[in-house]
Structure formats: structure tokens, C-alpha cells
Amino acid sequence: MRLAVSPENKPILIASLFVVAILFAGTAYTLSTTGTAPLLSPGYLLQQLQTGSFLGICAAGMMMVILLGHIDLSVPWTLTAAAMTATAVGGEWALPTALAVGLSVGLLNGFGVAFLRIPSMIFTLGVDTVLRGLMVAQTGGFAPQDSATPLMLYLAKERILGIPVAIFVWAATSIVIAVILTRTGFGRSIYATGSREAAAFLSGIRTRLVIVGAFVVSGLCAATAGILLAGYSAKAYQGMGNSFLLPAIAAVVLGGTHILGGRGRYAGTVVGVVLIVLLNSVLSIMQMPEAGRQIIYGAVIIGMLLVYGRNQRVTS
Amino acid sequence: MHQPAWKRWLQQNLGFASALLLLLTIYLVYNMLHPRGFSSAVAVQNANETAAIAFVAMAQTIPVLMGGLDLSVGAVMTLTNCIASEFVNGSPAEIVFGMIATLLAGTAFGLANGLIVVYGRIQPIIATLATGAIAIGLALIVRPKPGGDVDGDLGWALTNSVWDFADTYGLADGGDAWWLRPFADIPMPLIIVILVTVLVWVPFRRSVTGRTVYAIGSAEGAAFMSGLPIARAKIAAFTLAGFFAACGGLYLAIQTSSGNADLQQAGAYTLNSIAAVVLGGTSLLGGIGGAVASLVGAAILRVISFYFRILDIDPLLQPLIEGLVLLIAVSFGAIRTLRVKNKLDLFR
């Protein structure tokens, strides 16, 4: 009997199997060295998902942009700028300010890409550099002294019914993105624009506004991740977003989203994030040095894509 | 209609021409504003700071011409930088061996990139993202801690003027021969970059493989139907990118006399290389531009940072100004949207 798996779900299935394989390999390792299986304990898994939620939220926003065939390289400093302004403003206005930062960055990115038609690769890179400049000028290049507000601490660190609140935030973000992508006209327009913008335009979709919208979602997601990360470390610091950009792109692609746009399911991105988070945590349990981690990390991406991410040859 | 050749060249290379004009202007103004005026010492220093990013920008250009992107150039540069810091010392024969090994390592890594992209059929941007991580991992194995040892004479000779080069190795009467006079003050890094460009890039661009790279960037399907060697060109493009990145890594090792497997540095070089490519007038969509244009782009990026030294700008504002200049410079690309007659042409 052959299992029928649609091409859209194949990456998700394989990535999920790989997640299970990682868990087995890690558990086999810990059983053989210490005789315990911490990887399978719910507490440990929840803690991993809690730290993974920052990456998960970044990847959710990134996916919207990648579905259009664009990319958002401004995520690291959007995240940092949102966190820094939120801690600097403080009080009950901290969260709205951070989201406003994300919104404005998204609008700026969208304007540059959709209306000025500058390739997103370079425009968002420029925006990222400008944001970094603004933050360095603002903070003097040091970690700001302001600390996170109680609400930010709550969102990042507290638990409801034993489950970290950060996971709820990630879940809420995921539901919103999934609903947007599958149930709204905006979501359909994203897929259409990502497949072929000229055709989408001719069929009456206002593609420029769709692009702006996707970048705004990405900016908002980065800002949300910034709020959580600042709450998690109790303050904002320079370069706090640097380690999120490439893993976010990798998670989206590992989840089966096509890097040139038009194809991909949100569930895949979640699986991709879980894969990367668990891979990192198993490697750190094995006390793998940084060199080995990087090599394994790269090899896993290549290996997974060789299995299911291959393109058609261009022959016409 | 008959047009003068230069006029047609200008129409075809508008981006490159404006970048060149911009570079000449800002470099001229820089030298006029410089407190000590134009001198060989200033030129040597400027060339030294530009050489590594210039090589990495050239490396980035070739995949971009093909309509791809190589996110591993900074990492390959870092890897070769670490290899060079390990091997480029000892007897002259060992030094030469070390340099060749460094360049070969980078080229081999580029070849691997090309093979993965062509036979693995993975999008270049994501394949090189992954191989970049592998390169950093290998660099960390070669050099777990920053440091290293590069032959001092070589470091001195290659990072100063031609006269110092001849003086160090006792060539041309220790640099005082009459025929060397006119060239004595030219910075060595400039000569190295130009030599590599003329000996490697120009022949490549004129070869069938090189033309095919341009053709793939313009229309891959048409290139395939015309019987052009697509696979060979793609592999060659990434291999050459690896070679140029290795040149950058080797030069950085000679210049700093050390290697440093720094993830942040690798990322910064990769992103700056994309910026340099775009500033030089190469289209990220592929098919238009060239490595020489990227040299100009890289030089523009660097000259902007030279200004900070002489203009007494608050160091805290420098990253902001750098970012704004980059953003404004690339926004000039929006002029294209004003010339478009059919709105559908916007969506290419």
C-alpha cells in the first residue's frame, strides 16, 4: 500500500519524521551516557519550545514575505529596535510602542519594495543598517539600562497551567497567520502575487498593497519577538536579533516553503522551527563544539533539501 | 540608426557609469578635504582597507549575474583567511605552497557550491546559506581562537607601495631602477586587485562559459534552448566566486597577519558584498553588470567610511550615516519605475 501524500505535505511529513529522529538520537545519547532521558520529559520540551517561540514568531513573519518571493533582512534590527524602544518607553505604552516600531519598519520596507521596486534583498538590508545606526546613536552602543516592563516579563517568563506564556503568544501568532493565509482574500493574494505578480495584477489584485501588507506582518512579528526576547532576558541589548535572521529563513525553507515564492504551508514553518530548535538543543546536550554545530546545521539543511526541495530543471 | 559607440556603451552601462562617476567625485573630494592632501601613504592605506571587500564583492558578482546569490562568500573568505593564517609562513617554498593551498581550498569550496546547486537543484540562496554555515564550522576547526602567523616580509611587501615590494625582495635594484620610477608609488593591493581582475575575470567574461553566465541571468530557458552549456557555466560561476573569496581571505590574512573565524565578520562581509554589487550597477535580477562594476561599488562603500575619519563625525552617528547613504543610493534604482511605459514591465 502506498501512502498518498500531496507534494505540499511531503516536506512537512519528512521534516516531522526528522524531528522524531532527532529526539530518538538525542535520547539514545543521554541514555547511553547518563542513563536518563531528559529530552522526552515534558518540562524540558516546554522549555525548548519557550526559547523556540522567539524564532517561531520571526519565522512566521518571514514566511509571509518569502511566499511573495521576497525576503526581509531587516528582522534582526527591527527586533532589537522594538525591544529597545519598548524598554526605553516603559510602562503601559511599552508594547504599543514596540508594535508601532514594527509597523513603521514594515511600511517602509513595503514602500521600498512595492512602490520603488528596489529588490527586497538590498532594500531591507539598507533598512536594517539604518535601524542599527539609529539604535547605536540612541544608546551610545551600549546595552541600555532600562529594564523590561512587568508585562513583558510576564509574557516571556510566566506560565499558565504549567505552560509558558511565550508558547501561547507563538500559538496565537500562528493561528492568526494560518487564518490569514488560508481563509482570507489577503492570504490568497499573497500566494497569487508570489506565483506571478504580473498575472495577479492583471486579475485585479492590488499587488503593491499585498506586498506592503506582508512586510507589515513581518515587521509586527519581529517586534513581537523583540518584546518577548527583551522580557526573557529582562532587558534589551545590542545585536539581540542577530542570531534570528538565518535560522528564520532556514526554518521557513525546511518547512517546504519555496524560496522564490508562491508555495508553502504554515504548518511546515512550525515544524521547521521545531526542527531547528531541537537540533540545537540536542547538539548542546552532546556538548558539540561550535564548529561541529555549524557543520551539522549546514549539512542538515542541504540534506533535507536534497530529499524534498529540489527544483525542476529549466528546459524551455 | 547609427549611434556612436561610446553613446551605446553609456546606454548599456548607465548604472556602472554613474557609479564610476560617483566614486571619482567622492574620492576626489575626499583627497581635497584630507588635511595632508593626496599622498602615496593615504592611497596605500585606502587600498589596503578596500582590497578584501573588493575581492568578496567580485566573488558575489558572478552568482548574481546568473540571477542567483551566494550567501557563503563571507564565510568562504573567513575560512580561507584562517587557512592562510596557518600555512602562509616559513621558507619561500612553504609560503608559495600555503598561498596556493589557500586559493585551492576556496576554489574547491566554490566548486562544491556549484555542484550542489546544479546537481542537487537547490536554490543558490538557500544552498549557500547552508554551505556558509559549514565553511564557518571548518574555519573554527582550523582556527578555534583568533591568531596565527603570516610571513612578515610578505605582509610588508604586499600591503605597501610598489617601491616597498621591490625593496623587500631586492628586485629592480631595491626599487630604484629607472623603469620602476613611474610606478613606485602605486599601492600593491591596487596592483593585486587589478592583476587578478585582468588575468581571471576578463578572460572568463570573454569565454563561452562567461557569456553563458550572462545568458542564464537574462533568460535561462532561452540559454538552454540555444544549446549553451548551462551546467558548466553555473558550476564555473560558483567556483570562480570561491576563488575570488579565497583571494579576499588570503589578502586579509596577509594584511592582518592573523586569521579569525568570526561569524559576525563573515555575515558583515557577505551583506556588504551584496551592497557593493548593487552600488556598482549590477542587477540583482541577473544578466547586467560585471565584476569591475562591483570593484567600483566596493570602493564607494569604503570611501564613504574614509570620510568619517577626516570630517570629525561623532562615531556614534557613523553606522546611521552609512545606512542612510546605502539606502538612498539604492533608492536611485527607483528611477527605472518612472521610465517604464507598460506597467507590466514593473513586475519583472
Interface of A with B in 200-229 (CB under 8 A): 201-202, 207
The tens digit of pLDDT for each residue in B135-187 reads: 999 999 988 888 878 877 777 777 887 777 777 777 766 667 777 777 777 88
What are the tens digits of pLDDT across the range B11-23?
777 788 888 888 8
Segments forming the whole domain that contains residue A89:
47-296
Average pLDDT, chain B: 85
What is the average per-residue pLDDT within A25-37? 82
Among A97, A72, A64, residue whose Cα is nearest residue A82: A97
Contacts of B265 in chain A (CB under 8 A): none
ipTM higher than the 0.85 cut: no
B227: contact with A, CB 8 A cutoff = no
| Whole-angstrom distance, CA of residue A197 vs CA of residue A260 | 12
Does some domain include residue A137? Answer: yes
Is B338 in CB contact (< 8 Å) with chain A?
A: no
* Chain A CA closest to residue B132: A298
Q: Classify each residue of B240-273 as buried b or exposed e, where b means 16 or more C-beta atoms within 10 Å of its C-beta.
A: bbbbbbbbbbbbbbbbbbbbbbbbebbbebbbbb
Cell of B196: 587578478
* Ranges of each domain in chain B: 39-313
What percentage of chain B exceeds 90 in pLDDT?
Answer: 28
CATH code: domain of residue A260: 1.10.3470
- Residue A257 belongs to some domain of the structure: yes
Q: Return d(Cα B348, Cα B284) in angstroms, integer.
A: 12
Question: What does the pLDDT read at residue B208?
Answer: 92
Q: How confident is the model at residue B321 (pLDDT cuts 50, 70, 90)?
A: confident
The verdict on B141 touching A (C-beta cutoff 8 Å) is yes
- pLDDT of residue A1 exceeding 60, the answer is no
Number of structural domains in chain A: 1
Nearest by CB to residue A298, choosing from B121, B134, B316, is B134
pLDDT tens for each residue of A300-310: 888 888 887 67
Q: Which residue of A has its CA nearest to B124?
A: A259
Position A302 in a domain: no
CB atoms within 10 A of CB A2: 4
Asked if B284's CB is within 8 angstroms of A137's CB, the reply is no
Fold classification of B39-313 (topology level): ABC transporter involved in vitamin B12 uptake, BtuC (1.10.3470)
Tens-place pLDDT, residues B192-213: 899 999 999 999 989 999 999 9
A147 strand-pairing partners:
A235
What percentage of chain A carries pLDDT values higher than 90?
Answer: 28
Cβ contact (<8 Å) for A295 and B133?
A: yes
Higher per-residue pLDDT: A152 or B112: B112
The 10s digit of each residue's pLDDT in A42-82 is 888 888 888 889 999 999 999 999 999 898 989 999 999 99
The predicted pLDDT at position B94 comes to: 86
In a domain, A15, yes or no: no
For chain A, what is the largest distance between any 2 Cα atoms, rounded to a whole number of angstroms? 65
